[in-house]
A and B are shown apart, each in its own frame.
Chain A
């Protein structure tokens, strides 16, 4: 009987050891990610960060405005500087660092309103980052000159990606319905999107609620994300 007791206790002790070690490792793996696991505190932290983010973006806007003012001041100076400044301004427009306006199309995409047959398939019925990417790609290949998604202007540095369950454009989270505004030849953009077997066909097939409108006048905000090169060096020549 004593032998049995020892064997059984050993079995359970072995298991306890395994479980405890697993538990300790699991805690160590997941705790450093977040400062707290209390959802309410996390919500407050997120809110704080969002506020800071908003403030910083306003600061960026103010600083850009100041730069423009300085550039204007420079431009009112001499001829060579003035031409340089003109070049600078036109480059800024091309880089998406200024607001622009012009004719184009407005596409709105919303998640599917088709009844989802089973919860596992739910993923197919919501708009994903790659859906928006494809749409943007289509607009670019149809000659769009400036594009913004839910007011987030796209530039060379822009990214569209999924973080958790929200899509981030320029690292800023956006939510459905997605409004993609593109400046370019409205007719070309419109027909580019409506190609048979094209992107809108696909969207409609999965049941996304899509609408495309041509617009006489679209006003797009400047790109407010990060700019500046840290690693790339010009090689000289052009």
Chain B
């Protein structure tokens, strides 16, 4: 139940916008990709914190918005300087996504001691 509603929300909004045929101007494509990564990163962080039972709503939401805005700002400054600074955000978010993913994997595996017991018995 914890993750089903967010998943449904994701599918709903995705399909809604996808079939509305909206495209942003090409100029904003980099900002969009950075924003997607920021959202994905926040989501992973939130799921991890939820599994660790350390979830703090305020930290989660502010993290999402501040990260997105900072990344967009970085991309914008990069546009000005002619340096692809948005890559910094892409790499930072990418690394964090994978870190969180591995932590989530561990936490989920720990949540199923039954599976562990079984595997120990078969051993």
Q: Which residues of A pack against B, CB within 8 Å? A: 1-2, 4-6, 8-30
Contact = CB atoms under 8 A, between A and B. Distances in A.
A16 B7 contact: no
Contact of B60 (A2, A8, A16, A28): A8
Contacts of B2: 2, 5-6, 9
Contacts of A23: 29, 32-33, 36
Contacts of A24: 18
B47 A20 contact: no
The 10 tightest CB contacts between A and B, nearest first, are A17-B13, A21-B17, A17-B14, A13-B10, A13-B6, A9-B6, A16-B39, A29-B23, A21-B18, A17-B10
B84 interface: no
A11 B64 CA distance: 10
Interface string B31-46: 0110110011011001
Interface of B: 1-3, 5-7, 9-18, 21-24, 26, 29, 32-33, 35-36, 39-40, 42-43, 46-47, 50, 55, 57, 60-61, 64
B36 A16 contact: yes
Contacts of B14: 17-18, 20-21
A62 to B, nearest CB: 41
B5 to A, nearest CB: 5
B109 to A, nearest CB: 20
B61 A18 contact: no
Contacts of A19: 32, 35-36, 39
A4 B55 contact: yes
B4 to A, nearest CB: 9
B36 A9 contact: no
A30 B28 CA distance: 12
A166 to B, nearest CB: 19
11 contacts: A4-B55, A4-B57, A11-B9, A13-B10, A17-B11, A17-B12, A22-B24, A23-B29, A26-B23, A28-B23, A30-B29
Contacts of B9: 10-11, 13-14, 17
B50 A9 contact: yes
B32 to A, nearest CB: 5
Given A10-B5, A17-B17, 7 more contacts: A2-B2, A4-B55, A5-B60, A6-B6, A13-B10, A13-B43, A15-B13
B23 A22 contact: yes
A25 B18 contact: yes
Nearest to B53: A1
A76 to B, nearest CB: 60
A105 B45 CA distance: 73
Contacts of A1: 55
Nearest to A11: B61
Contacts of A20: 14, 36
B43 A6 contact: no
Contact of A14 (B13, B32, B61): B13
Given A12-B42, A12-B43, A26-B24, A21 B57 contact: no
B39 to A, nearest CB: 4
Contact of A25 (B7, B22, B33, B42): B22
B23 A6 contact: no
